[in-house]
Amino acid sequence: MGRLSWRLAEVAEVRPETERVATLALEVPGWDGHLPGQHLDVRLTAEDGYTAERAYSIASAPDERRVELAVERLDDGEVSPYLTEELRQGDQLELRGPVGGYFVWEPGRGGPLLLVAGGSGVVPLMAMLRHRAATGSQVPARLLYSSRSLDDVIFREELERLAAAGDGLTVTHALTRAQPPGWTGYARRIDAAMLEEVGWRPGERPLAYVCGPTRLVEAVAGQLVALGHDPARVRTERFGPTGVP
């Protein structure tokens, strides 16, 4: 495999997802495709040559023409405020990738799938679900997704549409801080009881992908193993203020 070289992408669209998260749709000439779950590196360069690099998970499926990132703005961040607030359609962005070959899923890897996300950790899992839908895969999949509030749920309407397609996907939300009136869903952090109710039984040998803040990832991965799931079928990726993977 040759060197991953830096290339210039053009911003085709900046689409707000939530108050803090925006999707960047990029035209990337010569992009060779990626696996759902992979990330890429972004490099920003100031006029005096100062650079800052960060990694971002790819949200789009390889089947789509554009490469999409969904970036959460971190108030004390150096790169994410630029990407979510300054960058606009027609701007150029330097990137290289795709990177990462473990936290990836394609239909051929089978299932059933248990996807567990916290906050913006849903981004690489969304690439998997979009690819699953685009390829017509019938691999049964369950997404358990923890957000602070309903307004913080990224890809909310698209997830509803995907779950309504009747192709074996269920989406379950846990809202940890605020719930809308009449909310009957989970109103607490993901815990072992929730994983037992929503997830597959260990005997069904699910393939689990867990992505989110460290505390969530550490807790969920530990709980899955304690419930009897094979550690070798639990893949984790930390996602948050200090980068991926």
Partner 1 sequence: MGGFVSRGFKGRRRPAAGQAKLPPGQYAEPGFPVLTAGPTPRIDLADWRFRIEGLVAKPREWTWEEIHDLPPSSFEGDIHCVTRWSKLATSFAGVSVDTLLDAVEPRPEASHVVAFCYGGYSTNLPLDDVRGGKAWVVWEHEGAPLPPEHGGPARLLVPHLYFWKSAKWVAGLRLLDHDAPGFWESLGYHNRGDPWREERYWGD
C-alpha span between 86 and 77 (Å, rounded) = 13
Interface residue with partner 1 among 6, 89, 178, 191 (CB under 8 A) is 6
Residue 5 burial by CB count (10 A; 0-12/13-18/19+): exposed, middle or buried?
exposed
For residue 208, the minimal CB distance to partner 1 (Å) is 9
Measured from the CB of residue 106, what is the shortest distance to partner 1 in angstroms?
A: 15
Contact 1, 29 (CB under 8 A): no
Nearest to 137 by CA among 172, 111, 158: 111
Nearer to partner 1, 169 or 244 (CB): 244
Nearer to partner 1, 185 or 222 (CB): 222
Binding residue for partner 1, selected from 19, 32, 46, 203, defined by CB under 8 A:
46
Measuring CA to CA, which residue among 190, 186, 177 is closest to residue 222? 190
Among 66, 148, 214, 227, binds partner 1 (CB under 8 A): 214
Could you tell me the smallest distance in angstroms from the CB atom of residue 51 to partner 1?
7
- Does residue 145 touch partner 1 according to CB under 8 A? no
Site string for partner 1, 69-108 (x = CB under 8 A): ---------x---x---xx---xxxx----xxxxx-----
Binding of partner 1 by 7 (CB under 8 A): yes
Q: Alpha-carbon distance 243 to 245, whole Å? A: 6
CB 106 within 8 A of CB 30: no
Helix residue spans in the chain (DSSP H) = 80-81, 122-134, 156-164, 192-198, 214-226
Of 7, 237, 16, 10, nearest to 124 by C-alpha is 237
50 binding partner 1? (CB under 8 A): yes
d(CA 214, CA 222): 12
Is there binding between residue 184 and partner 1 (CB under 8 A)?
no
> Which of 26-34, 59-67, 167-175, 236-244 is the region at the interface with partner 1 (rule: CB under 8 A)?
236-244
Size of the site for partner 1 (CB under 8 A): 48
Site for partner 1 contains 228 (CB under 8 A)? no
CA 3 to chain centre: 25
Q: Minimum distance from CB of 236 to partner 1 (Å)? A: 6
Binding site for partner 1 (CB under 8 A): 1-4, 6-8, 44-47, 50-55, 78, 82, 86-87, 91-94, 99-103, 214, 217-218, 221-222, 224-225, 231-232, 234-238, 242-245
